[in-house]
Chain A
Amino acid sequence: MAYPPEMQGSLKKVEASRRLRREQTFPRLDFAEKTTLLETYHPDFRPAEKRQIRVGSNKGDSAPKELVDLLESPGRLNPDIIDLTKVDYKTDILVVGSGGAGLTAALTAKEHGAEVLIATKLRLGDSNTIMAEGGIGAATLPEDSPAIHYIDTVVGGRFKNIPELVEALVQDAPFIVEWLTNLGVNFDRLPDGTYFTHMPAGHSRRRSHSVKDLTGLEIMRVLCDEIRNQEINVLEFSPAVELVLDDQGKCAGSVLLNFDTDQYIVVEAKTTIIATGGIGRLHPQGFPTSNHYGATADGLIMAYRAGSKLLYIDYIQYHPTGVAWPEQMLGLLVSEALRAQGAQVVNVDGEMFVDRLETRDALSAAIIRECGERGKGVLTPTGMVGVWLDTPLIDVIGRDGTFLRRFAGIHKRFQKYDIDPIKDPILVYPTQHYQNGGIQTDVHCETDVPNLYAIGEVQGGVHGHNRLGSNSLVDIFVFGRRTGEYAAQRINKTKIRKLSLEHLKAYNELLLEEQTTTDTVSPMLLPDYRFEKALMMVQYTKEPFRA
């Protein structure tokens, strides 16, 4: 599965131009150029791929078609078969989802005296967090400051970020590095303890704190272990299928599904924290995704039906360096840290066409332009296309051994297919990576539904229209800590009245009124890749490629 003969010619050109390119940089886009590039080539700016939502709080707003289909689907739960007077679990705080945000909120709420129950669709810790390679953005170096972090984040977010949320993000970020270190996370360090940091695209200072190329894995191992040490109750393979409100419209828990027995579980909770992550497995616009199997927008759908509003939900992040070859790895991510460490992005002729440190939205748009209109992409034997991420530069610029020391995991994954990224570049094409928007909340992450909170990727507003690298891995912990504490301090004031699923019935009736017709129910819970869909690696060629 090494690079096939038809790609060898292009590889030779990349190798031939490397020595000269090494010393060169491509001119950075100015603000006007970037805007034009995005509006012409970025998938977010294709009106035909969106449609208007016809029901609920965001009625009239446009969103990706794949999401609107789910928003306009009836609930998978039949409210008439659930007896809400029979409660299986009572708890102060229910956390739905067990990625970085959910586990952090659970640990923090417990620390502040609350009783916590975690419900999660798959295993404890199954999440996008575990896949995060790059690092945690935090202004800890003397030449950096939270104010600079603020500027970078807001410019990267196209000035649409909610200022108070960004302020919380950048001011709390260094405390998160300390919190995780104290839990025993082995960040990359120098002998004197100084954190090793790198500068992902769009940032102006080195501030990404990494653990080799497995930052998320290391953090999640530690957090899951700590959840066990704290003896927090966890229900695995128990996805939430609907939120439960009380008769005053406040959130009062959730109905879960036992994936092993197909029985429903009723949870009554004074506070419910949704931390269910993103949208990738809906494959917006048919793109491959870097996301976890469980990223099916469940929390978004349930919160919307319960009355929460969505913000910037039509802005999706396509990560520029998704794998385009080998096929088996299609859509998986290679870390932005590769670019931070010197890997350039070049076309079929081995020429640079964009600076390697442009933000993700701009770089993705530039790659789509290069492979489409300009016809300078590299075609694979299966009809996929991509451009080269010139990874051999990392050992040329650093000293020999840099790649292996920093990116052993990436190296190992490619070696299984006889590709050595130290010697040969990696073929990349944008892959769906992140949901920039999400459920709208106040600064405490409380949604429009009282006692319902949203944190992590499912929440919207921190990152505006485009998130910077390393900012999600800090977002989840900052708002997990804040919300866990805030919610725990309020449980004594919260009284739960009669449990109700009336909102679900009302929503289903609205769907009937609007005559929406879908053949699905929601939340989706799991994507269906069975039978021919297992071959969907060839599906993505609907992008307008030109050889």
Chain B
Amino acid sequence: MLNDIIKMIPIYVMGRKYEVPRGLTIQKALEFSGYMLKRGCGCRGGVCGACVTVYRKKGDYKINVGLACQTVVEPDMDLVQLPYTSANKALYTIKNTPLTDSNIIRLYPELLKCMGCNACTKSCPMDLEVMSYVSAAIRGDFAKVVELSMECIMCGMCAARCPAELSPFNIALLIRRMYGKHVIPPAPHLKQRLTEIAEDKFKDEIEKLKASDKPELETRYRELQATRGAAVAEMTA
């Protein structure tokens, strides 16, 4: 299957050398080399955080972090996948935990130990501004924490690298949950709809639909599509 068209490059997996085709992701390069991935492989699409990989390039002192499923191999890359990261996770009841400074500090007192070294930001494979959201958490700008941490994939690298032993991703998750539950105002239209359903407002109509044949449903659907309005919401989120 391999032929001369495919250019092979050397990589090092935990120090062992393999020749792999150029252009592969780290994940596929590992598989090409014969690794059957159990730990260190998940969605294969860059959102699950399972395949975080630490690597150095030849002649470079820097430690790099990337997702194996998203990062293309480079010659002489020396890599290891993190099978697991241990992180502190506080237990709480979301219903009884409104978004306050004191609640956050009670659950994660180590937050105040942040020394501003920026190791977390440098280690984030999603290029999130981790230290910025940690700072925002300390100064109580919770909307900013939500905004800056929203794309977090919970891989745990920030916790693994933090010299002050914080687990930034779990702290951000706590704040996002408190924000979603306790800060965003409830939607009147949802409350209204739940009341209507509880009062069986749609029950009879749905009973009729369940007994309807195909032509009847097709007719209803055509009418609905004709009045469907804009697919794109005229709203700004």
B58 contacts partner chain A, Cβ-Cβ < 8 Å: no
Question: In chain B, residues 161-202, which have Cβ atoms closer than 8 Å to a Cβ of chain A?
Answer: 173, 176-181, 184-190, 192-194, 197, 202
Within 8 A of B (CB), among A60-100: none
Q: Which of B127, B176, B187, B236 contacts A184 (CB 8 A)?
A: B176
Asked if A406 meets B237 with Cβ closer than 8 Å, knowing A147-B209, A159-B214, the reply is yes
- Once bound together, how far apart are the Cα atoms of A342 and B105, in whole Å? 44
- Decide if B102 is an interface residue (CB 8 Å cutoff): no
Q: How many residues of A contact B (CB 8 A)?
A: 102
Q: Quick check: which of B7-15, B113-121, B131-139, B225-233 contacts chain A, the rest being far away?
A: B225-233
Interchain CB contact under 8 A, B228 and A175:
no
Question: A398 to chain B: which residues have CB within 8 Å?
Answer: 232
When each residue 19-39 of chain B gets 1 if its CB lies under 8 Å from chain A and 0 otherwise, what string results? 001011100110110111111
Contacts of B2 in A (CB 8 A): 532, 535
- B197 with A408: CB separation less than 8 A: no
Interface residue from B25, B228, B235 paired with A190 (Cβ < 8 Å): B235
Quick one: given A126-B48, A226-B94, are A196 and B235 in contact (CB under 8 Å)? yes
Instruction: Tell me if A186 and B237 are in contact (CB < 8 A).
Output: no
Is the CB–CB distance between A292 and B188 below 8 Å? no
- Residue from B37, B47, B197, B209 within 8 A of A151 (CB atoms): B209
Fill in one digit per residue for B189-224: 1 if any A CB lies within 8 Å of its CB, else 0.
Answer: 110111001000010011001100010011011001
| Least CB distance, A277 to chain B, in whole angstroms | 12
Closest CB in chain A relative to B24 CB, distance in Å: 7
Q: Kindly identify which residue among B28, B92, B217 contacts A229, using a CB–CB cutoff of 8 Å.
A: B92
Which residues of chain B are near A530, meaning CB under 8 Å? Answer: 31-32, 34-36
For B, the interface residue count at a CB cutoff of 8 angstroms equals 81
Question: Are A131 and B45 in contact, with the CB atoms below 8 A?
Answer: yes
- With most chain B CB atoms within 10 A of its CB, the pick from A171, A185, A221, A259 is A221
Question: Is A542 interfacial (CB-CB < 8 Å)?
Answer: no
Residues in chain A within 8 A of chain B (CB atoms): 1, 28, 31, 122-123, 125-126, 130-131, 139-143, 145-148, 150-152, 154-155, 159, 163-164, 167, 170-171, 174-175, 177-178, 181-190, 192-199, 203-206, 211-212, 214, 216-218, 221-222, 224-226, 228-229, 231, 237, 259, 290, 292-294, 327-328, 332-333, 340-342, 357, 397-398, 405-406, 408-409, 412-413, 416, 526, 528-535, 537
- B residues with a Cβ closer than 8 A to A are 1-2, 21, 23-25, 28-29, 31-32, 34-39, 41-48, 50, 70, 72, 89, 91-95, 126-127, 146, 150-154, 173, 176-181, 184-190, 192-194, 197, 202, 205-206, 209-210, 214, 217-218, 220-221, 224-225, 227-233, 235-237
- Smallest CB-CB A-B distances: 5 pairs: A184-B177, A204-B224, A193-B185, A534-B32, A196-B237
